[in-house]
Amino acid sequence: MMLLTKKMIEIRNILQKVGQSSTLTLPSIVVIGSQSSGKSSVLEAIVGHEFLPKGTNMVTRRPIELTLINTPGSNAEYGEFPDLGLGKISDFSSIQRTLTELNLAVPDSQCVSDDPIRLSISSPSVPDLSLIDLPGYIQVVGHNQPLELKQKISELCDKYIQAPNVILAISAADVDLANSAALRASRRVDPRGERTIGVVTKMDLVDAVRGSAILNDRQYPLRLGYVGVVSRVPTSTGIFKTGKTNVLTAITKNENAYFSSHPHEFGPGSDVSVGTTTLRKKLMHVLEQTMSASLQTTSDAIQQELEEATYEFKVQYNDRPLSAESYLAESLDAFKHSFKQFAGEFGRPQMHELLKNELDQRVLDLLAARYWNKPITDLSVPVLEPDSLADLPKADPESLFWHRRLDASTSSLTKLGVGRLATNVVATSIQSHVDNLIGQSTFVSHPFARQAITEAASSILNDRFYSTSDQVENCIKPFKFDIDMEDREWTQGREHVQGVLKKELEACEGAMKDLESTVGGRRKLKEVLHFVDKARKGDVVVENENQAGAGGFSAALLQKGREAAFLRDRADIIKMRLMAVKSKQCASMKNKYYCPEVFLDAVATKLASTAVLFLNVELLSEFYYNFPRELDQRLGRHLSEEEVEKFAKEDPKIKKHLEVIRRKELLELVLDKMESLRQLEGREGQRPKPG
């Protein structure tokens, strides 16, 4: 018979996980009683351990959903809080502490919380039972307690004592039953006494005749009857201290001694029920009966809920199966696929282009510093035209001056730290491509995975960074001493640098346009530019222009004027140099001193090509090999089930999808279990009763 209750409790627990509506549940036994009525003592007697919070000011503030699981053939006794993930706790005083903490965590302003604490206790000596312990009714609010406490407790209990739950109403024998808060409450919801069990505690505190009369009370007759108990643990045994002996054994011994010393009132012929053992049996029996009785209605409700879930699954999700693992696996596969595609498109030519662009910029800077310099300084110091630019077109190939200048420029280029620069440019580009890939993948809405992928990429790149930049630096070393250039390379350089100069020119012109619009038009800019020019030639004297401005222009405007002068001069120089590069003079390598732009461009190309050869081996191939493996490490089999679940649910759409499937599966599982339970019950019913 007990197998049924066990199975039904199992079903009850699964239904709690479905967590949709409160109608989907099997009945439980709810325990109510006034403070100090002996409620905790009764529960502890049933469990056989002291585990409930105690203390003068301790008010239970949350319901405790207590599942007792009988484990025959095992010696282990332990409790578990399924929502806390603390594992099995075999020290009952630690369970008591946890419950105390959970109670204290409810803020005073809230008084009581209807969020239940779930606790299951497994032991060979507990019956299979599902009990809900509620806060005790209070008569008078203590001076430290919130005023609404009494009301709130009463409302919370009312929620739980509804049908089909069984009510275990605890009253103390030394208080008039008519004043019992538990019986009053139960009478309101169960006026005919169909589903209430009356427990009268502290039978030892009244004389036996009076005790027997209480149990025979006809004021509020109960179909399930009253049971009298003496559930206080005899202090002399010191049980709570050692915790070894079962509390129940000690209580029953004490109880038996009391009841058997009054055989007339409580003996076999007396027609009253007494004793904790009797109470336990009654609870088991009543719970089983009640659960069986509600099996059909619950099963109908589940059936209906299942139909709704199935419909939602079909309409909203097209019956598409999904699990957190499969979602992750598919997302990861898709991501790796897109990465592979990227790897196919990003190779040596792309690296070369990136690096060459970067070096082009450095070449422009070098040219500006060493050949095209026309510094714009403080307006109070007039500037003379530097000779280098004006003399450049007539640079004498035999002149040591121009030799040194080109050598120094080339040397600056080869020694600027190409190893670091190249590795950095490529690594940064890879990282940003990976970010783009994430942005286009399902991972975009998963912060956890985004971070894992970004870190996978950066860890490989960081690992390889120093050795790669050293390698690259090493392999370009020969260029630091000697540059061997062929005509073909010169021609290509000449071709290419024209493009670079044109782009730079466009950039200057663009910046000039922007300046115009910030100062309020072309005319305004022209005026201030004119003034700046005059100042630079020394035609006007400007003093302290930084604070007040000069010539009727504000300091800020003059600053813009200087920027404009710089841009205009730069554009003029570039135009001039473009002409020079295009001219016949620059067609031949012989004239390299006239044409440093071409020469430096060709050198930059050599550097880029050589660097790329090594970057390809040291960085790119390594990355392409390791990245997918690193992804597997970080997002694959190493994740725990909870992490995978957490990952998948980061996407609200996926979360909803998974929840519908889970609800459907749980409901199907429950229905299945209920069906086999009904068959089992059917067989039990057919079996001829013994005797």
Q: Is 298 in the site for ligand GDP (CB under 6 A)?
A: no
CB 121 within 8 A of CB 79: yes
Which of 27, 38, 198, 596 binds ligand GDP (CB under 6 A)? It is: 38
Site string for ligand GDP, 98-137 (x = CB under 6 A): --------------------------------------x-
Distances (CA, A) of 255 to 47, 91, 204, 234, 261: 16, 26, 9, 10, 10
Instruction: For residue 478, give the DSSP letter.
Output: G
The least distance separating ligand GDP from the CB of residue 202, rounded to whole angstroms, comes to 4
Which of the stretches 34-42, 396-404, 451-459, 598-606 binds ligand GDP when contact is defined by CB under 6 A?
A: 34-42
The least distance separating ligand GDP from the CB of residue 673, rounded to whole angstroms, comes to 35
Residue reference for tokens 């086999």: 676
The least distance separating ligand GDP from the CB of residue 97, rounded to whole angstroms, comes to 17
The least distance separating ligand GDP from the CB of residue 231, rounded to whole angstroms, comes to 5
Q: Is 33 in the site for ligand GDP (CB under 6 A)?
A: yes
Q: Which is nearer to ligand GDP, 40 or 298 (CB)?
A: 40
Q: Which is nearer to ligand GDP, 181 or 497 (CB)?
A: 181
Which of 5, 25, 28, 41 binds ligand GDP (CB under 6 A)? It is: 41
CA quadruple 204, 205, 208, 213: dihedral sign: negative
The least distance separating ligand GDP from the CB of residue 171, rounded to whole angstroms, comes to 10
CB 490 within 8 A of CB 586: no
Q: Is 37 in the site for ligand GDP (CB under 6 A)?
A: yes
CB 11 within 8 A of CB 26: yes
Residues contacting 589, CB < 8 A, separation 6+: 485, 487, 490
Question: 619 exposed, middle or buried (CB, 10 Å; 0-12, 13-18, 19+)?
Answer: buried
CB 464 within 8 A of CB 622: yes
Nearest residue to ligand GDP, scored by beta-carbon proximity:
40
Q: Which is nearer to ligand GDP, 104 or 369 (CB)?
A: 104
Residue 641, both tokens: 């089930």
Q: Is 262 in the site for ligand GDP (CB under 6 A)?
A: no
Which of the stretches 36-44, 157-165, 392-400, 451-459 binds ligand GDP when contact is defined by CB under 6 A?
A: 36-44
Interaction with ligand GDP in 188-247: which residues (CB under 6 A)? 201-202, 204-205, 230-232
The least distance separating ligand GDP from the CB of residue 39, rounded to whole angstroms, comes to 3
Q: How far apart are CA 541 and CA 563, in angstroms?
A: 19
Residue 291: alpha-carbon gap to chain centroid: 39
Residue type, 35: Q
Q: Which is nearer to ligand GDP, 65 or 597 (CB)?
A: 65
C-alpha radius of gyration, the chain, whole number: 44
Query: Measuring CA to CA, which residue among 604, 406, 617, 593 is closest to residue 489?
Result: 604
Which of 13, 20, 36, 96 binds ligand GDP (CB under 6 A)? It is: 36
Please work out the total of residues on this chain that contact ligand GDP, with binding judged by CB under 6 A.
Answer: 16
Phi, psi of 161 (to 5 degrees): -85, 10
DSSP 589-641: GGGTTT-HHHHHHHHHHHHHHHHHHHHIIIIIHHHHHHHHHHHHHHHSTTS-H
Instruction: For residue 169, give the DSSP letter.
Output: E
Interaction with ligand GDP in 1-30: which residues (CB under 6 A)? none
Which of the stretches 39-47, 297-305, 496-504, 604-612 binds ligand GDP when contact is defined by CB under 6 A?
A: 39-47
Q: Which is nearer to ligand GDP, 35 or 70 (CB)?
A: 35
The least distance separating ligand GDP from the CB of residue 232, rounded to whole angstroms, comes to 3
The least distance separating ligand GDP from the CB of residue 298, rounded to whole angstroms, comes to 31
Residue 22, both tokens: 């409160």
Which of 15, 25, 30, 39 binds ligand GDP (CB under 6 A)? It is: 39
The least distance separating ligand GDP from the CB of residue 54, rounded to whole angstroms, comes to 6
Instruction: For residue 108, give the DSSP letter.
Output: G
The least distance separating ligand GDP from the CB of residue 227, rounded to whole angstroms, comes to 12
Alpha-carbon dihedral 239, 245, 246, 249, rounded to 10 degrees: -90
The least distance separating ligand GDP from the CB of residue 52, rounded to whole angstroms, comes to 7
Q: Which is nearer to ligand GDP, 129 or 571 (CB)?
A: 129
Q: For the stretch 54-76, what's the b/e string if a residue is b when 16 or more beta carbons lie within 10 angstroms of its beta carbon?
A: eeeeebbbbbbbbbbbbbeeeee
Residue 552, both tokens: 């009727």
The least distance separating ligand GDP from the CB of residue 99, rounded to whole angstroms, comes to 13
The least distance separating ligand GDP from the CB of residue 201, rounded to whole angstroms, comes to 5
Q: Which is nearer to ligand GDP, 36 or 616 (CB)?
A: 36
Residue 643, both tokens: 């992490």
Q: Which is nearer to ligand GDP, 23 or 245 (CB)?
A: 245
Q: Which is nearer to ligand GDP, 239 or 542 (CB)?
A: 239
Residue 46, both tokens: 């049933």
Residues interacting with ligand GDP, by CB under 6 A? 33, 35-41, 136, 201-202, 204-205, 230-232
